[in-house]
Amino acid sequence: MAVQAPQPPAHRVALVAFPGIRAFDVSVITEVWGTDRTDRGAPAFDLRRVAVDSTPVPMRGGLALHPDRTLTWLARADLIVVPGLDDHFTPAPTPVLDALRRAHARGTTLAALCGGAFTLAQAGLLDGRRAITHWNLIDLLRTHHPRVNVVPDALFIEDDNIWTAAGTAAGIDLCLHLVRRAHGAEAAATIARSMVTAPFRTGTQAQFIEHPTPRADRDADTLAAVREHALRHLHEPLTVADLAAYAGMSPRSFARHFTAATGTTPLRWLLDQRIATAQKLLERTDLPMPEIARRAGFGSEVTMRQHFASRLATSPRAYRAAFSTPAPASGTGAPDSASVTGGSSPIAR
């Protein structure tokens, strides 16, 4: 009789609660880490709502959050997430700020969604570090916390194991990225599919500030068709010139329209699709490295290894060792576009 391998312990996540936190961010954190999806292959999580005491925490709209742990539980957490604020000048309770400082000193990963960056700044944890918040709050964060190095053009950013995210939807991006970072691309994709959202969104926050949507609907439709075509032919040696030709545009015009629509360049987008495809294959198959490199369109294992090192700070073999859940490979071409984690890296490091 086969002996089942012991299951890894649940990843412990703390949602820090105090009056003034945003209900939306609480919902995002709860949806990502508070829903049991182990029957679909997602990892097990242990999400706790942590506050100064057990008093219900009021939120806008007549809602209230009921804590199930006090701040002492933060010492056990693998990840601590701070929701955004309805009023960005809301002072966090002193015990919360002290607990966040202690957690960072212990090496615990901290993350703040949207205006949650103001809470981390109150604690002094962003002094001298890079951080991001909603584009409409950037000047406010700079003015009231001048020691923070505010970066305006990322969806989320990390500095010294402290993560911050831009506006509302970017909080979802960061939460999924933190899952991907700890558990692999397939785990994040499983949760994203359940939430009916993109597991890896394209571009930077800048696209939501100044750039309008494409002027002509036909341009948007054309670019969407080009991306779909690229995903289905990723194993081929595609170039930006190839994609421009498929769109019926000059390379220069294509690059301009593509960047305006997605917030990233065609070359960067294409490379990110190749990396995401390789990640999937490393996690889900036992294919040899040269075959994975071919299917992902890198051409050679050496090229794939170089891009993994520069973009993911790891090697394909190390990535497989960390996240592999082998499954039989099928077919000889590129993975179907439905199985590809889409989008370019929204992270600034």
- pLDDT at site 199: 62
Predicted confidence band of residue 310 (pLDDT cuts 50, 70, 90): confident
Q: Count how many Cα atoms sit within 13 Å of the Cα of residue 172 in the half-sphere of its side chain.
A: 18
Angle between helices 240-247 and 217-232 (to 10 degrees): 130
Q: What are the C-alpha distances in Å from 60 to residues 85, 92, 191?
A: 10, 16, 27
The total of other beta-carbon atoms located within 10 Å of residue 311's CB is 15
Contacts of 236 (CB under 8 A, 6+ apart): 297, 334
Length of the chain: 349
pLDDT, tens digit (0-9, with 9 covering 90-100), for 140-192: 999 999 999 998 877 888 999 999 998 778 889 899 999 988 998 888 888 98
Q: Count how many Cα atoms sit within 13 Å of the Cα of residue 184 in the half-sphere of its side chain.
A: 24
Residues 47-75, mean pLDDT to the nearest whole number: 95
Pairing of strands 57-59, 63-65: antiparallel
**Six-digit token string for 171:** 């909080």
- pLDDT at site 198: 65
Backbone angles phi, psi at 124, to 5 degrees: 80, 10
Q: Does 102 have pLDDT greater than 90?
A: yes
Burial 164-198 (b: 16+ CB within 10 A, else e): bbbbbbbbbbbbbbbbbbbbbbbbbbbbbeebeeb
- pLDDT at site 340: 38
Pairing of strands 149-150, 156-159: unpaired
Do the beta carbons of residue 198 and residue 343 sit within 8 Å? yes
Residues 36-45, mean pLDDT to the nearest whole number: 91
Q: What are the C-alpha distances in Å from 3 to residues 7, 40, 295?
A: 12, 22, 35
Q: What are the C-alpha distances in Å from 135 to residues 88, 130, 156, 208, 268?
A: 13, 15, 12, 8, 23
- pLDDT at site 56: 96
pTM reported for the whole predicted model: 0.68
Name the most confidently modeled range: 87-96, 100-109, 280-289.
100-109
Backbone angles phi, psi at 127, to 5 degrees: -60, 125
Query: In the 8-state DSSP scheme, what is residue 108?
Result: -
Beta-bridge partner residues of 63: 59
- How far is residue 58's CA from residue 21's CA, in Å, rounded to a whole number? 8
Instruction: Find the largest Cα–Cα distance for the chain.
Output: 65
Instruction: Tell me which of 136-150, 234-248, 330-344 is least confident.
Output: 330-344
- pLDDT at site 83: 96
DSSP-based three-state secondary structure for 167: coil
Percent of the chain with pLDDT strictly greater than 70: 84
Residues 128-142, mean pLDDT to the nearest whole number: 92
Residues 17-29, mean pLDDT to the nearest whole number: 95
pLDDT, tens digit (0-9, with 9 covering 90-100), for 238-271: 888 999 998 889 999 988 888 877 778 899 889 9
Q: Does 204 have pLDDT greater than 70?
A: no
Q: Which of these, 275, 293, 132, lies nearest to 205 by C-alpha position?
A: 132
12 or 168, which is more confident? 12
Do the beta carbons of residue 71 and residue 50 sit within 8 Å? yes
Percent of the chain with pLDDT strictly greater than 90: 50
Q: Count how many Cα atoms sit within 13 Å of the Cα of residue 235 in the half-sphere of its side chain.
A: 14
- pLDDT at site 201: 57
Residues 126-136, mean pLDDT to the nearest whole number: 92
Continuous H helices in the chain: 23-33, 94-106, 116-122, 138-144, 168-183, 185-195, 217-232, 240-247, 251-262, 266-284, 289-296, 301-312, 316-323
